Amino acid sequence: MKKTLLSATLALATMAGTADADTFAGVALTSNYVGGGRTQTEDKPALQTYIEQGFASGLYIGAWASNVDFGTNDTVELDLYGGYRGEIGQLSYDINYYRYLYDGDLGNCCGDAFVKVMHPVFGPVSGGIEVSSNLEDYVMYKPLLGIDLGHGFALAAEYQFGDVDNETYWKAGLSKSFDNGTSVRVEYSDRSDDESILFFTLSFDTVLLKG
């Protein structure tokens, strides 16, 4: 399902925040595709990729794909998404909708709407919240914390509550970004109704076309 922070999508959002009508793309190799605190690949590695088109207005559309393993005949997840991001002073915001498609029995199964805001707290520390819903039977709340350590290093943490089963999960990670668009991340995730997961990700993001 939808990727959370410390992912290629996050690296993309950072670049797109200062872009005009640019086209972005990226690829990532992760030791475990983790969504919402649960493995999506039976604790096996995943190869993931995306492409996104931004517009000068702040609108954007994109597609993200990964292999999955749920013990069913579904092997590929494709997320189609669109949204609007911008800034009001130091406050950054992102409003979007993701639709999840699978190549097996799950098919065109579901989707989620997201609203995310972030704001500097003090020095290198930023805080925010993401609110998401399937627009049917649940709303989830996710406080966010980010710390820029300098020299390309960053810490990020998130805590989620309010899903349909009223379970909670949290995740924290350390990332290192390089000037060539490459980043490496180590993340730890734990969920109240599932096992904890430690996983690693190597990703590369780039601007394919300048607007």
Exposure of 150 in the CB half-sphere (CA atoms within 13 A):
2
More confident: 14 or 111: 111
Task: State yes or no: pLDDT of 5 exceeds 80.
Answer: no
Query: What are the tens digits of pLDDT across the range 172-188?
Result: 999 999 999 999 999 99
- Domain 8-209 -> CATH class: mainly beta
Q: CB neighbours of 88 closer than 8 A, spacing ≥ 6? A: none
Task: State yes or no: pLDDT of 13 exceeds 60.
Answer: no
User: What's the confidence (pLDDT) of residue 1?
Assistant: 55
More confident: 20 or 21: 21
User: Closest by alpha carbon to 114, among 9, 2, 11?
Assistant: 2
Q: What contacts 24+ positions apart, CB below 8 Å, involve 168-172?
A: 168/192, 169/36, 169/37, 169/194, 170/37, 171/4, 171/5, 171/6, 171/34, 171/37
User: Closest by alpha carbon to 43, among 163, 157, 186, 195?
Assistant: 195
User: Closest by alpha carbon to 189, among 203, 174, 175, 169?
Assistant: 169
Query: What global pTM score does this model have?
Result: 0.90
